[in-house]
């Protein structure tokens, strides 16, 4: 194992953005998530809820609603544009102005032929979906007041629109208003002067309309007759989101108090025909507004202003308890926002709008288990604001600390950093773009001493000052389910060296061993592979891992491994970390089987030397540092641990809706 000096870094002020909207694609089992800063994230629910793709935001673009049409993804925002995305290149494909003012909502019919958007000026615009683009078809009857929510009937002939104080049903064929008009009560007397905003509507196949509004009501309407069937007062403030299950037997609503309330369509008499919507369970997954909800059959996915994504299983729908059926909370992105210059002892922090370079502090004293005295405080060397409106998608710093690079959707910038007496930075110009036709969309930047390699999604590689070196690249495949790992051989120009066999789950972290040149990969399902680049095959250790299998507790860990580091002192050891732990894996020790104790450090401590040997296994876990964003090894063999406590994030959030608590 070994002892390390640990730099515990808690000055990375990372602040995730609140969740605005989400949409679940049942066929692909992917969840598209829109954040308040315009970032779009795609989670693969088949693959351990891994954050597969991130499309960085743009200051001029907001995402108010997101909608899947088959495999295509559309968003609409308050800038009045509908945007389709290129999910291979992770960038907007095209934008179309709807000319109706800010767009509040977008909905696609069940047939996938038309898209309806609800605009600020009260118009509902229909767009025809064509293979490569969308085309404006017509307007439905324009009404006074904004359209905040839309829902298509299953048949595609009617559409329900939630507006201010009312719900209207439109006939799609004629574009006319159906006779029925449902007026929403404004609620308690103090709210009479305020308009009641119908935040969400859902049109069920039996012509039932469910609405949620700003006075805290959930109402069930009979759209055929235009009458109110039942009202449930759920909250004292707004009910912001609604999601109906696929079989229409239940729905969930999210309130601004952070609660999610489930309603079920239950028979009054067991086995009888007469059914009614009954409020059943109440969860409180959030502290702030629940802005987005999705019902995925076996679970309820909720997200809100408190920035976390919560996957709450519905235990009555679950057959077997397994890893996929437990409560998941996703706080942090599944990629590293920190890069470390090992030689110089510097850290680069990536924010959407800027980069920060910090130099680590120094300490004195070396006593195991002690908190060391900080001799020199860490200092912030540099804050680099990005150019343009696009958010930074990735960044890197060279191990010597002399080079810095970041990229956005549209550009790649490299800087020379000198920090001897005073810090100076200069942009490196004249980068040769291999492809002028497409802007480089960097998925990964990697520095190795003097070389920089950036990888494009479409297998473009660009290398400056090439030196004989091996590099690893990560290709998030867009169309194929699996993900390729391609090895390039040096010297420049790079040639494909080999392709690692495709594995069914996304790789989440990988690294090349500095001495043995073995490629180590950790996948989203927490499987570990080691591939020998020289022999172009899996190593013996990797085969042994596959043969014997990993420990159950390892496979049930909640968050993916985001970084791999190698111990230079011991070639057989490498380190992995996820959000809640880091672990040192010793390849020379036997693998744990399911019977033996996995977290065994405390047991080992109490044993004698001989017994310790017989009980030791390859995994050494350390859960002392929680909410890890990064873990790296410096050249002086000290560990850098970047933490971001959740309480710090919560303290920066706006104050939640005040709730009266009993006995306070």
Partner 1 sequence: MVASAEVRVARCGGSRINFIEPIITLDSRFLLCASGDAVHVYSTSTEERVHVLQGHVDLVTGLRLNSSNHLQVYSCSLDGTVKLWDFTDGILIKTYIVGHKIFSLYVSKFHEGTVFIILPMESSANTEAFQLVALHLPKTTGPEVEARDILSVLRDVSPIPKATSFGRGGEFVASASGLQLSVYFFRKQKTYRFSLKANDKKGARNRFTCVASHPNDDCIATGHEDGKIRLWRNFSQKKEYTYSTEHWHHSAVNALHFTPEGTELLSGGVESVLVLWRYGAGSKKDFVPRLGSAIEHISVSPDGSLYCTSHKDNKIVVMKSSRDISAIIQGLVKGETIRTDLLIDPRTKALVCNGKPGHLQFFSLRHDKQLYNLDIVQQEYIHEAGLHQCEVTKAAIDAQGSWLATVEERQENPEELDIILKLWAYDESTQSFHLNTSISMAHEGQISAMCFSGDAEATMLVTTGRDGHFKAWLLADHPDAQGEGASWSCDYVGSYHRREPTRCCFSADGSLLAVGFGEVVTVWSPSTWELLVTFSQPPGDIRDLCFGRLSCSKYLLGTTTKNLLCCWNLLTCSLEWSSTVDVILLQPDPLSENMAAFSRASGSTDLFVFKPSEPRPLFSQKAVCSGTVRRAVFAPREEVLEGCDESTQWLSCSRLYFLTEHMELMTFSTKSEEDQIIASSKQLVIDDSVAVTPFYLLLGKHRKSQRETQDSVSSHTAARIQLPQGSPAIRELLHTPAHVLPSASFLCNMFVNSLLISKSGVR
Taking the chain, what is the end-to-end CA distance rounded to the nearest angstrom? 50
Provide the CB-side half-sphere exposure for 539 (13 A, CA).
19
Q: Is 178 helix (H, G, I), strand (E, B) or coil?
A: strand
Closer Cβ to partner 1, 306 or 530, answer by number:
306
Sort strands 5-9 and 638-643 into parallel, antiparallel or unpaired: parallel
Given 65, 196, 234, 584, the residue binding partner 1 (CB under 8 A): 234
Q: Considering the complex, what minimum distance in angstroms separates the CB of residue 241 from partner 1?
A: 19
Joined together, the tokens standing for residue 612 give 């310790």
With vertex at residue 22, the alpha carbon angle to CA 21 and CA 24, rounded to the nearest 5 degrees, is 165
Closer Cβ to partner 1, 221 or 574, answer by number:
221
* Closest residue by Cα to residue 339 from 447, 178, 261, 223: 447
Closer Cβ to partner 1, 236 or 446, answer by number:
236
Given 264, 449, 466, 597, the residue binding partner 1 (CB under 8 A): 264
Contact flag: residue 268 with partner 1 (CB under 8 A) = yes
Task: Give the distance, in angstroms, between the CA of residue 163 and the centroid of all CA atoms in the same chain.
Answer: 31
Map the footprint of partner 1 across residues 379-418, applying CB under 8 A. none
Contact flag: residue 279 with partner 1 (CB under 8 A) = yes
HEC profile of 39-101: CEEEEECCCCCEEEEEECCECCCCCCEEEEECCEEEEECCCCEEEEEECCCCEEEEEEECCCC
Closer Cβ to partner 1, 276 or 596, answer by number:
276
Q: Considering the complex, what minimum distance in angstroms separates the CB of residue 578 from partner 1?
A: 23
CA distance 286 to 309: 9
**β strands within 81-121, DSSP E:** 81-86, 91-97, 103-108, 114-119
Closer Cβ to partner 1, 128 or 316, answer by number:
316
CA distance 628 to 623: 10
Contact flag: residue 233 with partner 1 (CB under 8 A) = yes
Given 280, 322, 371, 418, the residue binding partner 1 (CB under 8 A): 280
Q: Considering the complex, what minimum distance in angstroms separates the CB of residue 247 from partner 1?
A: 12
Contact flag: residue 79 with partner 1 (CB under 8 A) = no
Q: Is 583 helix (H, G, I), strand (E, B) or coil?
A: strand
Q: Considering the complex, what minimum distance in angstroms separates the CB of residue 363 from partner 1?
A: 37
Q: Considering the complex, what minimum distance in angstroms separates the CB of residue 270 from partner 1?
A: 4
Closer Cβ to partner 1, 259 or 307, answer by number:
259
Q: Is the peptide bond before 193 cis (omega within 30 degrees of 0)?
A: no
Candidate ranges 157-165, 225-233, 429-437, 653-661; the one touching partner 1 (CB under 8 A): 225-233
Joined together, the tokens standing for residue 504 give 């069914």
Given 432, 534, 602, 663, the residue binding partner 1 (CB under 8 A): 663
Residue 568 main-chain phi, psi, to 5 deg: -65, -25
Q: Considering the complex, what minimum distance in angstroms separates the CB of residue 278 from partner 1?
A: 6
Closer Cβ to partner 1, 247 or 364, answer by number:
247
Closer Cβ to partner 1, 266 or 607, answer by number:
266
Sign of the Cα torsion 368, 370, 374, 377 reads: positive
Cβ contact 522:576 at 8 Å: yes
Joined together, the tokens standing for residue 470 give 């091996």
Joined together, the tokens standing for residue 419 give 């920090």
Closer Cβ to partner 1, 313 or 402, answer by number:
313
Map the footprint of partner 1 across residues 301-360, applying CB under 8 A. 315-317
Cβ contact 245:295 at 8 Å: yes
Closer Cβ to partner 1, 176 or 316, answer by number:
316
CA distance 223 to 227: 7
Q: Considering the complex, what minimum distance in angstroms separates the CB of residue 559 from partner 1?
A: 20
User: Could you identify the residue written with the tokens 């507004």?
Assistant: 289
Contact flag: residue 266 with partner 1 (CB under 8 A) = yes
Given 131, 189, 247, 271, the residue binding partner 1 (CB under 8 A): 271
HEC profile of 460-485: CEEEECCCCCCEECCECCCCCCCCEE
CA distance 104 to 169: 17
Q: Considering the complex, what minimum distance in angstroms separates the CB of residue 628 from partner 1?
A: 23
Map the footprint of partner 1 across residues 144-163, applying CB under 8 A. none
* Closest residue by Cα to residue 312 from 329, 292, 289, 332: 329
Map the footprint of partner 1 across residues 153-212, applying CB under 8 A. none
Q: Considering the complex, what minimum distance in angstroms separates the CB of residue 563 from partner 1?
A: 31
Given 190, 193, 247, 270, the residue binding partner 1 (CB under 8 A): 270
Q: Considering the complex, what minimum distance in angstroms separates the CB of residue 520 from partner 1?
A: 37
Contact flag: residue 662 with partner 1 (CB under 8 A) = yes
* Closest residue by Cα to residue 142 from 169, 97, 177: 177
Candidate ranges 152-160, 230-238, 430-438, 610-618; the one touching partner 1 (CB under 8 A): 230-238
Compute how many residues bind partner 1; rule: CB under 8 A: 22
Q: Considering the complex, what minimum distance in angstroms separates the CB of residue 264 from partner 1?
A: 6
* Closest residue by Cα to residue 13 from 645, 634, 563: 645
CA distance 507 to 529: 10
Candidate ranges 25-33, 260-268, 337-345, 610-618; the one touching partner 1 (CB under 8 A): 260-268
Closer Cβ to partner 1, 229 or 411, answer by number:
229
Candidate ranges 141-149, 169-177, 277-285, 618-626; the one touching partner 1 (CB under 8 A): 277-285
Q: Return the number of other C-beta atoms located less than 10 Å from residue 513's C-beta.
A: 18
Contact flag: residue 275 with partner 1 (CB under 8 A) = no
**What value does the CA radius of gyration of the chain take, rounded to a whole number of Å?**
27
Helices (H) and strands (E) in the chain, counts: 5, 55
Give me the DSSP letters along 361-384.
-EEE---TTPPPEEEE--EEEEEE
Candidate ranges 48-56, 102-110, 279-287, 368-376; the one touching partner 1 (CB under 8 A): 279-287
Residue 305 main-chain phi, psi, to 5 deg: -70, -15
Contact flag: residue 267 with partner 1 (CB under 8 A) = yes
Given 46, 93, 232, 484, the residue binding partner 1 (CB under 8 A): 232
Candidate ranges 93-101, 128-136, 265-273, 450-458; the one touching partner 1 (CB under 8 A): 265-273
Q: Considering the complex, what minimum distance in angstroms separates the CB of residue 553 from partner 1?
A: 21
Closer Cβ to partner 1, 268 or 322, answer by number:
268
Cβ contact 309:558 at 8 Å: no
Closer Cβ to partner 1, 139 or 264, answer by number:
264
Show Cβ contacts of residue 244 under 8 Å, excluding neighbours closer than 6 positions.
Answer: 202, 204, 210, 250, 251, 295
Q: Considering the complex, what minimum distance in angstroms separates the CB of residue 318 from partner 1?
A: 8
| Interface residues toward partner 1, by CB under 8 A | 230, 232-234, 264, 266-271, 276, 278-282, 315-317, 662-663
């Amino acid at each position: 194992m070994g002892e390390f000096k640990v730099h515990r870094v808690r000055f990375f002020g990372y602040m995730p953005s609140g969740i605005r909207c989400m949409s679940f694609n049942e066929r692909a089992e992917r969840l598209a998530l829109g954040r308040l800063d315009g970032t779009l994230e795609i989670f693969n629910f088949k693959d351990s809820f891994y954050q597969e793709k991130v499309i960085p935001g743009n200051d001029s673009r907001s995402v108010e609603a997101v909608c899947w049409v088959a495999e295509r993804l559309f968003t609409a925002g308050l800038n009045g544009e509908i945007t389709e995305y290129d999910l291979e290149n992770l960038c907007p494909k095209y934008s179309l102005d709807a000319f109706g003012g800010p767009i509040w909502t977008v909905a696609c019919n069940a047939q996938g032929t038309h898209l309806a958007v609800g605009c600020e000026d009260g118009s509902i615009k229909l767009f025809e979906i064509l293979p490569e683009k969308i085309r404006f078809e017509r307007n439905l009857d324009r009404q006074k007041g904004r359209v905040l929510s839309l829902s298509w009937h299953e048949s595609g002939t009617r559409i329900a629109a939630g507006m201010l104080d009312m719900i209207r049903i439109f006939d799609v064929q004629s574009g006319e208003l159906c006779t029925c008009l449902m007026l929403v009560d404004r609620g308690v007397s103090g709210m009479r002067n305020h308009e009641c905003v119908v935040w969400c509507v859902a049109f069920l196949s039996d012509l039932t309309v469910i609405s949620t509004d700003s006075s805290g009501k959930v109402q069930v309407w009979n759209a055929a007759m235009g009458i109110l069937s039942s009202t449930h007062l759920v909250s004292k403030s707004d009910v912001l989101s609604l999601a109906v299950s696929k079989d229409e037997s239940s729905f969930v609503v999210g309130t601004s108090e952070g609660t999610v309330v489930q309603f079920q369509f239950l028979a009054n008499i067991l086995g009888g025909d007469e059914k009614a919507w009954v409020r059943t369970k109440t969860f409180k997954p959030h502290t702030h507004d629940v802005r987005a909800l999705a019902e995925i059959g076996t679970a309820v996915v909720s997200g809100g202003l408190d920035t976390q994504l919560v996957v709450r299983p519905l235990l009555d729908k679950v057959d077997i308890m397994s890893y996929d059926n437990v409560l998941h909370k996703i706080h942090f992105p599944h990629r590293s926002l920190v890069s470390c210059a090992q030689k110089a002892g510097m850290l680069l922090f990536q924010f959407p709008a800027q980069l920060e370079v910090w130099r680590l502090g120094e300490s004195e004293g070396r006593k195991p288990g002690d908190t060391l005295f900080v001799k020199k405080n860490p200092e912030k060397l540099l804050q680099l604001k990005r150019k343009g409106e696009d958010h930074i998608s990735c960044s890197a710093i060279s191990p010597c600390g002399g080079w810095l690079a970041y990229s956005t959707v549209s550009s790649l910038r490299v800087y020379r950093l000198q920090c001897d007496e005073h810090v100076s930075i200069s942009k490196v110009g004249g980068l040769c773009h291999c492809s002028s036709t497409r802007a480089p969309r960097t998925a990964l930047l990697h520095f190795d001493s003097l070389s920089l390699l950036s990888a494009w999604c479409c297998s473009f590689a660009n290398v400056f000052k090439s030196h004989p070196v091996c590099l690893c690249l990560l290709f998030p495949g867009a169309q194929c389910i699996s993900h390729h790992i391609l090895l390039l051989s040096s010297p420049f120009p790079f040639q494909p060296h080999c392709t690692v066999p495709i594995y069914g789950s996304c790789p989440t972290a990988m690294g090349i061993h500095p001495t043995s040149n073995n490629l180590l990969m950790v996948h989203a399902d927490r499987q570990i592979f080691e591939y020998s680049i020289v022999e172009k095959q899996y190593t013996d250790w990797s085969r042994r891992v596959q043969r014997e299998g990993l420990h159950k507790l390892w496979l049930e860990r909640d968050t993916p491994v985001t970084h791999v580091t190698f111990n230079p002192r011991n070639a057989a050891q490498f380190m992995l970390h996820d959000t809640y732990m880091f672990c040192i894996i010793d390849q020379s020790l036997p693998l744990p089987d399911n019977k033996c104790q996995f977290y065994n450090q405390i047991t080992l401590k109490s044993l004698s030397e001989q017994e310790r040997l017989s009980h030791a296994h390859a995994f050494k876990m350390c859960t002392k540092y929680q909410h890890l964003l990064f873990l790296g090894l410096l050249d002086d063999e000290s560990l850098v641990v970047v933490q971001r406590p959740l309480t710090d994030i919560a303290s920066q959030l706006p104050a939640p809706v005040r709730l009266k608590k009993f006995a306070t």
